């Protein structure tokens, strides 16, 4: 009974105290596409992804009911950094859903502007607002509606202490007349949050470039539990507890709260309740992250160290030095990476798997229609038949007094030429070991795709090459040789395809650069570079996030400037956030069902080369 009364009281006081409007709530997912277009159209950095912001604590004054109910202690505000533009997960600030939607658009427009970073928070947001309204006057009516609605929802100044009332007056004046307030008056408490502006103190997140092994190992672990939540968490790094010390005995009245890190070693269990742990993490203001040196048995999936030379694939040559693009300094780092061509050491010749023979036969029949047909070549110096049209032109010119050194009076039936070369570059990183069903992993789907792709192109007579890639740091980018342009597709090539296996990470820029040089050496009117991947660029060092994306984008642009036609095929379900920036709106395709990739890849090639 007491529990039921408590639940009723909680629901009642929360409903009375809350200041938002749940019925008018608008989520970021519902406006993500429009917000992304607005942000980039108004000059925002195209390399930033749109991501949900995490709620941060607000020290502003709250009413009595809000303190009793425990609401409004945190608020979601917008901010940006070098990696992403962070917007609230949802907005219910105003009673009208249209205004909440307009707020998303305004925040995107505001974040797309630039102002001196050393300005104080108040002046900085006023400068951004002024720039947005001056450059895009069409935003002014939307801004005025938002300001009017926001002022009506802010606390009344007569109910505030004198110092906080002065602050509120300054904020209101800055909202109504951007640029009119130079400084924020001092007060014991900060002003009530301004949802029309960017965050005054964006939360600092854990170092993105530190300990990439932790992130990579977690992605490689098939038992890792991931929540469908793209919020950025506030975190701090701490030392891992030492198991040898055992459990610490604490008096119950001295227990800490959830928000504090307690160095208690309770031992890692393989069968932890991941859902329960995730719910507990949701309640924490800050996550304390420790690097665990010892791992449980179920999480050891791969040995990430390079194998000994006696057990590794064959190295083809001493390696190739390649540049890498550093977007922070806008410079190409010469000889920054070393790419090592590899050939499978244990890859006996093999036949096409039985399960693929029926599909391969159907695809070969379709692709044989693309094979060059026998056509009549006219005006030839020699041939099987006399070219009557060429002879009539020659006779007319001769009677008119003209003369031709090579009249070309014959025609001949010859085989046509498509004059096309294609290089397929497949991602063979650790992530391809993930299971997509009870029977197949990603690497199995990629292997079948390579089989059927090669079977199809062999039927057309088109020149093609197959390679795979993975990496571990910039000094070891593995470039797996499967089939070269000068090789015939046969049982030996099928053996190389059958021997591919997951390994290491995805330094995509270096692989694309070398593949572009191989394809660029082919003399063909059309040269198609197909990139097959299941995720975004990453590696153990700083090749993560924005850095890897910008290097890959630069390599992709280099391929275009060489006259190649690069195109990306991905099965990454979250690729929409970064692929348009990487490859352009027409430079990629997302296969939503990975199991369909083997059959769709050859048909995609047919479409691209039609």
Q: What is the pLDDT of residues 575-607, one digit of tens each?
A: 666 788 888 888 999 998 989 999 999 999 988
What is residue 368's predicted lDDT score, i.e. its pLDDT? 80
User: Do residues 505 and 536 lie in contact, with contact meaning Cβ atoms separated by under 8 Å?
Assistant: no
| Topology adopted by domain 338-368+427-608 | Rossmann fold (3.40.50)
Q: Write out the E strands in 58-154.
A: 74-75, 79-80, 84-87, 90-91
Weakest mean pLDDT among 355-369, 386-400, 437-451: 386-400
Residue 185 has pLDDT above 80, yes or no: yes
Average pLDDT over residues 305-317: 71
Q: Which residue(s) pair with 342 in the sheet?
A: 315, 480
pLDDT tens track for 75-128: 889 999 888 899 999 998 899 999 999 999 999 999 999 999 889 999 999 999
Distance between CA 542 and CA 548 in Å, rounded?
A: 8
Residue 319 has pLDDT above 90, yes or no: yes
Distance between CA 170 and CA 123 in Å, rounded?
A: 11
Of the chain, the end-to-end C-alpha distance in Å amounts to: 73
Average pLDDT over residues 59-86: 76
What is residue 269's predicted lDDT score, i.e. its pLDDT? 44
Average pLDDT over the chain reads 80
User: Do residues 437 and 480 lie in contact, with contact meaning Cβ atoms separated by under 8 Å?
Assistant: no
Residues of the chain with CATH 3.40.50.410: 338-368+427-608
Neighbours of 456 (CB within 10 A): 25
Weakest mean pLDDT among 4-8, 279-283, 478-482, 532-536: 279-283
Report the C-alpha dihedral over residues 18, 23, 28, 31, rounded to 10 degrees. Answer: -150
* Structure tokens, 177: 């007349």
Per cent of the chain over pLDDT 70 is: 74
What is residue 56's predicted lDDT score, i.e. its pLDDT? 80
401 dihedral zone (left: phi>0; alpha: psi -120 to 50; beta): left
Residue with tokens 């859902």: 275
User: Do residues 276 and 407 lie in contact, with contact meaning Cβ atoms separated by under 8 Å?
Assistant: no
Contacts of 16 (CB under 8 A, 6+ apart): 65, 69
Q: Distance of CA 591 to CAs 423, 505, 532, 556, 583, Å?
A: 20, 21, 11, 20, 16
pLDDT tens track for 14-43: 665 566 788 899 999 999 988 988 898 888
Distance between CA 604 and CA 377 in Å, rounded?
A: 31
Distance between CA 423 and CA 111 in Å, rounded?
A: 40
Confidence (pTM): 0.69
Distance between CA 248 and CA 250 in Å, rounded?
A: 6
* Structure tokens, 89: 């997960």
What is residue 540's predicted lDDT score, i.e. its pLDDT? 85
């Amino acid at each position: 009974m007491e529990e039921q009364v408590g639940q009723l009281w909680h629901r009642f006081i929360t409903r009375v105290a809350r200041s938002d409007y749940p019925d008018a709530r608008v989520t970021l997912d519902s406006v993500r596409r429009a917000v992304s277009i607005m942000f980039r159209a108004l000059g925002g950095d195209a390399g930033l992804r749109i991501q949900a912001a995490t709620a941060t604590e607000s020290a502003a004054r709250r009413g009595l009911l809000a303190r009793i109910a425990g609401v409004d202690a945190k608020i979601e505000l917008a901010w940006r950094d070098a990696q992403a533009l962070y917007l609230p997960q949802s907005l219910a600030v105003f009673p009208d859903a249209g205004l909440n939607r307009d707020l998303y658009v305004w925040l995107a427009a505001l974040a797309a502007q630039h102002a001196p970073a050393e300005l104080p928070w108040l002046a900085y947001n006023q400068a951004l607002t002024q720039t947005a309204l001056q450059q895009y006057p069409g935003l002014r009516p939307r801004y005025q509606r938002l300001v009017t609605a926001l002022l009506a929802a802010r606390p009344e100044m007569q109910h505030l202490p004198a110092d906080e009332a002065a602050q509120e007056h300054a904020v209101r004046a800055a909202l109504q007349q951007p640029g009119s307030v130079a400084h924020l008056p001092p007060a014991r408490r900060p002003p009530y949050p301004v949802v029309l502006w960017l965050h005054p103190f964006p939360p600092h997140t854990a170092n993105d470039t530190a300990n990439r092994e932790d992130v990579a190992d977690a992605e490689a672990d098939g038992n890792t539990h991931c929540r469908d939540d793209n919020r950025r968490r506030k975190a701090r790094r701490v030392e891992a507890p030492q198991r040898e010390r055992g459990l610490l005995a604490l008096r119950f009245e001295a227990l800490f709260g959830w928000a504090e890190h307690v160095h208690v070693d309770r031992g890692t269990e393989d069968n932890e309740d991941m859902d329960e742990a995730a719910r507990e993490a949701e309640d924490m203001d800050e996550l304390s992250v420790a690097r665990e040196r010892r791992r449980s048995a179920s999480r050891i999936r791969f040995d990430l160290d390079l194998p000994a030379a006696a057990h590794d694939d064959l190295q083809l040559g001493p390696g190739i030095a390649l540049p890498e693009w550093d977007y922070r300094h806008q410079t190409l780092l010469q000889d920054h990476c070393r790419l090592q061509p590899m050939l499978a050491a244990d890859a006996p010749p093999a036949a096409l798997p039985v399960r693929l023979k029926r599909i391969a036969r159907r695809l070969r029949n379709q692709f044989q229609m693309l094979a060059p047909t026998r056509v009549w070549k006219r005006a030839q110096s020699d041939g099987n038949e006399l070219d009557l049209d060429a002879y009539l032109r020659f006779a007319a010119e001769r009677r008119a007094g003209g003369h031709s050194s090579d009249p070309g009076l014959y025609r001949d039936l010859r085989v046509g030429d498509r004059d096309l070369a294609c290089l397929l570059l497949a991602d063979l990183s650790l992530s391809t070991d993930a299971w997509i069903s009870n029977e197949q992993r990603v690497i199995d789907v990629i292997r079948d795709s390579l089989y059927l792709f090669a079977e199809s192109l062999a039927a057309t007579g088109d020149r093609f090459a197959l390679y795979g890639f993975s990496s571990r740091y910039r000094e070891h980018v593995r470039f797996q040789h499967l089939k070269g342009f000068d090789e015939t597709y046969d049982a030996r090539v099928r053996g190389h395809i059958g021997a591919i296996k997951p390994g290491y990470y995805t330094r995509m820029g270096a692989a694309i650069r070398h593949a572009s040089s191989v394809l660029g050496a082919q003399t063909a009117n059309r040269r198609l570079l197909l990139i097959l991947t299941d995720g975004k660029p990453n590696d153990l060092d700083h090749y993560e996030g924005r850095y890897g994306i910008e290097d890959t984008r630069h390599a992709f642009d280099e391929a275009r400037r060489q006259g190649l036609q690069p195109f990306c095929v991905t099965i990454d379900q979250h690729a929409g956030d970064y692929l348009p920036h990487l490859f352009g709106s027409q430079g990629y395709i997302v296969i939503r069902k990975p199991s369909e990739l083997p059959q769709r890849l050859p048909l995609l090639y047919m479409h691209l080369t039609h």
